[in-house]
Chains A and B, each alone.
Chain A
Amino acid sequence: MARGTGATITSIDSEDLRRILVQGRRALEDNVEAVNALNVFPVPDGDTGTNMLLTLRALEDGPANAGGQMPPGSVTAMARGALLGARGNSGVIFAQFFQGLARGLEGKERFTAHDLALALAEGSAAAYKAVGNPVEGTMLTVIREMAEAAQQEADRGVDFIETWDAVCQAARASVARTPTLLPVLREAGVVDAGGLGLCVIMEGALSGLRDEELGAIELPAPELDGDASAAQLVSEAFIDATEEDLYGYCTQFLIQGEGLDPDAVRERLESLATSTVVIGGDAMVRIHVHAEDPGPVLSFGVSLGTVSQVSIENMDEQHQEFVAARRGKQELKPVGVLAIASGDGLSDVFIGSGAARVLSGGDTMNPSTQEILDAVEEVGAERVILLPNNPNIIAAAQQAKPLSSREITVIPTESIPQGIAAMLSFNSTQEYEENVREMEQAMGAVVSGAVCNASRDAELGGVRVAEGQVMGLLERKMVVSGDDRIGALCDLVSEIGPDGGSLITLYWGADTGEEEAHGAAEELQNRFNGVEVEVVFGGQPHYNYILSVE
């Protein structure tokens, strides 16, 4: 490496570039699991780091695979290797980025900081072109901001290492900001995996450039809410200023020419468009504006020099997404389900099956209409489907209907098994009316039973039970009694008469042991040929077992 006696160098050659990229690849190897773990966009399949690594290896092998005519440091051959060996979306974007970079460096024996800046700008343009629908807050943003930083640094000085260092710092900052730009990252509380991978590669390469051993790289942490970044403030302010009536096209391009004056360009553009951002120097200016008509803006650009990297995007879509994301917190969902049940386990079953809220209530404590109204509000949906799961609660639920600001539909479920069957046929991607219809249908497809202790002597329909004895209820009607819980349970199921392929779900109550429940399930499986029994913690009071047969 053409290294001066001091700590500065003014240029590197392609051999150096390959060497430092190997160091970058090694840095990525050290951090590949961390990068994989962050992968949530565009598909959270946890392989971004691996894909980038495989792409980098293909890049290194590019010259060797080019048929022996290429020198080992041929940038063009490396770019081709990366392109042909690109794995995954992150790999494809990286390969395109490098392809652009290589175009920028083509024909040069040595690369200066200024060459690097131009090449990164080319790489950035190529990367954006690589994806059909560029999304900000991804590796693309990191690449673009790296290029911008290189440009600024190269305008200031000529030291190659310092420029690369500035690029790395920009990459780190950009990676940290990605969650402020991409909602899915913000929700997951992570930075973009591809951007992080690139940042790691650049930092590894920097240590190579400095002839240092590869050390541990401190990974940038996400900037999340409460730590609002400048980028976020800008976009929030922008929304406020423009409210709902934003329209037009986000127009971006690069002008290359001679004697360009960014300030004069900005001034002129401000008369044609809004949100004008103009950066660059006298040889190259990057433009970002929002224009009702991008035509005049582009014509103006063409009058100044060569226009490239043109990107014109319809902003209406973007803007609406922004506004929706910002207002997401107070926005009502279109539909939500409120179930009424008592018992921690049953509550979890309903929530796990997609209920928005479970209101505690059942045989021993029927919730009031007011309590139901409050719970309906807490669902946070415009239309609420209500599962009373008890005949004594249906009336109170119906009463809530005209009193609520929400539209309520009561599915008249009389038991927990009916409620759960209805809940499982709820599908949030489906139309409201379709859901209601299918839930009503589903509640009728199960048989409900329960086993509990009698609180007093009774005789019902020829079945006698003494206080403290066990009784078995079929759809709330006593059909069997006895002294032994499991015996009564088996007699009850026998009354129901399940056929071979039936599924019995047994919800054991707060006063029943898990071991006993599993014993009961085994007993049922032995007694009734071919039935399947699933044991679930219900935690309900009063009933030792609630069961469904379907």
Chain B
Amino acid sequence: MAVKVITDSTSDLPPALVEELGINVVPANVHFGEEVYRDGVEITGDEFYRRLVASSRLPTTSQPTPGDFLSAYNEVGQTTDEIISVHVSAKLSGTLNSAAQAREEYGGDCRIEIIDSLQGSMGLGMLVIAAAEAANRGGSLDEVAAETRAAVPNVGFMGLLDTLEYLVKGGRIGKAQAFVGSLLRIKPLLAIRDGEAHPLERARTRAKGVDRMCQLVQDMMPLEDLAVVYTTTPDEARSLAQRLQAFLPQGQVRLGQVGPAVGTYLGPGVLGVAHRKQV
């Protein structure tokens, strides 16, 4: 039986791709006050960002519960005997803890391998894609897990933010703290490095920030996979994807929207690039 891939909704994978690759996505939860929504299931990206901007109180998120993972393991475990569960960096979320607790509780015969992607958003998504492709090629769980782990250091994510406000208030600022406190308007360019937010550049204008992202991507060539994500500006993302297409001659630059769980910490107006180096 083929290995099945499970991830969480912070992977920001487009629904069509999830379907195509046969991935199971366990949703995180987004809270607006007392109201709780399951990320991507009960609230869409566009709806979420409308509320994010309009709401006076910022939303919060909570990781899927061990029970959520247990249900997923039980369900998927009926169709396979090997599961790989790839999740958002433990420095950004307690999701891995929930998954580990669920595995402890799981009483079925399925072998479950849990992997810390050290990434979030499409960075995680890209590793999930790598795992799913390895699984669909017919690899055993050990092979799929080894391949996924080997891909972790080659995958990265960077984002050009409009403001650090959401990251600070959400407590995920990490090393990007170095960019907090500027009296000047800056467009912070951040990466996820060593599993947490990491400062790259302070651009004075958005156009300069976008140029810088393109430069950084070009410097990473040759690339295996490339994706552009956005929170509220799809047209801008599309034109960035077109610009970046030159750096991925053998394939198509992916395009997707950052979902509510990750969007809670990035805010509106964000452009992100996930990249996987060829080795």
Contact = CB atoms under 8 A, between A and B. Distances in A.
Interface of A: 39, 43-47, 50-51, 54, 58, 83-89, 92, 95-96, 130-132, 345, 348-349, 351-354, 420, 424-425, 427-429, 501, 503, 505, 532, 534, 536, 550
A47 B207 CA distance: 36
B207 A501 contact: yes
B171 A43 contact: yes
B63 A84 contact: no
A193 B171 CA distance: 14
Contacts of B101: 83, 86, 92, 95-96, 130
B45 interface: no
A351 B91 CA distance: 29
Nearest to A47: B60
Contact of B178 (A44, A132, A429): A429
Nearest to B206: A501
A313 to B, nearest CB: 19
A61 to B, nearest CB: 11
B204 A86 contact: no
Given A425-B202, A427-B201, A85 B65 contact: yes
Contacts of B67: 83-85
B97 A89 contact: yes
A425 B201 contact: yes
Interface stretch (B6-14, B180-188, B215-223): B180-188
B171 A505 contact: no
Contacts of B94: 88-89, 92
B70 interface: yes
B73 to A, nearest CB: 12
Interface of B: 31, 60, 62-63, 65-67, 70, 90-94, 97-98, 101, 105, 170-172, 175, 178, 181-186, 198-202, 204-205, 207-208
A427 B178 contact: yes
Residue with the greatest number of chain B CB neighbours at <10 A, chosen from A84, A132, A428, A536: A84
B125 to A, nearest CB: 21
Contacts, number: 104
Residue with the greatest number of chain B CB neighbours at <10 A, chosen from A352, A427, A428, A536: A427
Contacts of A354: 178, 181
Contact of A87 (B65, B172, B199): B65
Given A85-B65, A353-B181, A354-B181, 16 more contacts: A43-B92, A45-B170, A45-B172, A47-B60, A51-B62, A54-B62, A83-B67, A84-B66, A92-B97, A353-B202, A420-B184, A425-B202, A429-B175, A429-B178, A534-B184, A550-B205
Contacts of A351: 181
Contacts of B91: 43
A44 B63 CA distance: 15
Contacts of A87: 62-63, 65
Contact of A424 (B66, B70, B93, B204): B204
A424 B184 contact: yes
A536 B184 contact: yes
7 contacts: A47-B60, A50-B60, A58-B65, A87-B62, A92-B94, A352-B182, A550-B208
B179 to A, nearest CB: 8
A429 B198 CA distance: 8
Nearest to A537: B183
A283 to B, nearest CB: 28
A429 B185 CA distance: 21
Residue with the greatest number of chain A CB neighbours at <10 A, chosen from B63, B90, B91, B204: B204
A89 B98 CA distance: 8
B66 A83 contact: yes
A84 B65 contact: yes
A47 B204 contact: no
A84 B207 CA distance: 47
Contacts of A50: 31, 60, 62
Nearest to B185: A534
Given A47-B62, A429-B178, A550 B97 contact: no
Contact of A503 (B66, B200, B205): B205
Nearest to A424: B202
B97 A427 contact: no
A348 B183 CA distance: 8
B200 A88 contact: no
B138 to A, nearest CB: 32
Contacts of B198: 429
B196 to A, nearest CB: 9
B97 A45 contact: no
Contacts of B204: 424, 503, 505, 550
A84 B172 contact: no
Contact of A92 (B66, B172, B183, B199): B66
Contact of A427 (B93, B183, B186, B199): B199
Contact of A43 (B172, B182, B199, B201): B172
Nearest to B116: A132
Contacts of A428: 178, 199
A144 B264 CA distance: 35
A95 B93 CA distance: 17
B189 to A, nearest CB: 10
A86 B65 contact: yes
Contacts of A95: 66, 101
Residue with the greatest number of chain B CB neighbours at <10 A, chosen from A46, A50, A420, A429: A429
Nearest to A65: B67
B183 A532 contact: no
Given A45-B170, A45-B172, A88 B201 contact: no
A352 B204 CA distance: 15
Residue with the greatest number of chain B CB neighbours at <10 A, chosen from A43, A47, A420, A532: A43
A349 B62 contact: no
Given A45-B172, A349-B184, A353-B184, A84 B70 contact: yes
